[in-house]
A and B are shown apart, each in its own frame.
Chain A
Amino acid sequence: MTNSHQAAAAIPHVHRDDVGARMGMWLFLFTEVLLFGGLFLAYSVYRYDYHEQFRLAAMDLDTGIGTLNTLILLTSSLTVALSIAAIQKKNKFLAMAMISFTLLLALFFMINKYFEWSGHIAEGLYPKSPELLNMKNGEIIFYGLYYVMTGLHGLHVLVGMAVLSFMLVFIAKDKITFDNYVKLENAGLYWHLVDLIWIFLFPLFYLIH
């Protein structure tokens, strides 16, 4: 005990608390869960009220694109987890390669989203469009929720891409190393949350038949 105290006094003290840092990240993620939770609650209540109209409105969504984006996000979660395992094993190159691959997958996700939304807009299905306002209440609400929830999720994907880009730079500059990688862990937690939200968005919007 005394020995380690003396040793600790000899080197300049750098405050570091990895468990505390992760706890802070989780507390932030809980606020995110409540943010999306409110939207999922609105979805549930309106789906309960307009069961049949939700089903009809969902027919226009492309299950193929939804499934593809699910596979992309699940794989990107894997590559983030692998990058943390790589940095723990002192494999800097693999860690950077995995994050770069994650960014690429995130970009594919957003490109799919772009084509998907462009398709809806070309069909005249966008908030307040004359086409949409002619539909029944349940269908209008379905598309409102669809745009808000997948839009907010897409915004999180963009933020996640920005955060992961910083992590790439940190690893390159050795600010993240095998014995100090809590930044990467927290960025990973954020990315997994984005994946988690999509895991629920996917069946609720794309798989109603």
Chain B
Amino acid sequence: MEHEKHEHKAHHPGYGIYILVWMGLLALTSITVTVAGIDLGAYTLFVALLIAAIKSGLVINIFMHIKFDEPIFKVFLSLSGFTLFVIFLLTFFDVIYR
């Protein structure tokens, strides 16, 4: 019973939202390419990564259905993202203060 309920509860986004997200991704790509041509000094990397993060957010939430899926998927995803963050943090703690 529980199982059947899950199958039917899933929200199915239509074609429109995917095309909208795709246009957003194309727009963000043209922004990141344009911004790369401007000298922002130390912020260049930050801006490039910020735009990449926004693009990933769109792909993960809409294309990969995380927004519409069971909450447990968000928990697992956050956990794996956090693990990666800790690995980067600890490594850089070592590299910078060596």
Say if A and B assemble together: yes
| Residues of A contacting B21 in the complex (Cβ-Cβ under 8 angstroms) | 78
Instruction: Please give the number of chain A residues whose Cβ is less than 8 angstroms from any Cβ of chain B in the complex.
Output: 46
Q: Which of A23, A37, A44, A71 contacts B29 (CB 8 A)?
A: A71
| Residues of B contacting A63 in the complex (Cβ-Cβ under 8 angstroms) | 33, 36
A77 touching B63 by the CB < 8 A rule? yes
B84 touching A207 by the CB < 8 A rule? no
Instruction: Please give the number of chain B residues whose Cβ is less than 8 angstroms from any Cβ of chain A in the complex.
Output: 48
A44 touching B32 by the CB < 8 A rule? no
B76 touching A26 by the CB < 8 A rule? yes
Interface majority SS (helix, strand, loop, mixed), chain A? helix
CB B70 to nearest CB in A, in angstroms, measures 6
1/0 per residue B35-62: CB within 8 Å of A? 0110100001000110110011001101
B95 touching A1 by the CB < 8 A rule? no
B73 touching A22 by the CB < 8 A rule? yes
A48 touching B73 by the CB < 8 A rule? no
B14 touching A209 by the CB < 8 A rule? no
B36 touching A33 by the CB < 8 A rule? no
B52 touching A1 by the CB < 8 A rule? no
B14 touching A192 by the CB < 8 A rule? no
Tell me the B residues contacting A by CB distance below 8 Å. Answer: 1, 3, 6-7, 12-15, 18-19, 21-22, 25-26, 29, 32-33, 36-37, 39, 44, 48-49, 51-52, 55-56, 59-60, 62-65, 69-70, 72-73, 76-77, 80, 83-84, 87-88, 91-92, 95-96
In the complex, the 4 A-B pairs of residues with the closest C-beta atoms, listed nearest first = A203-B48, A207-B36, A78-B22, A30-B80
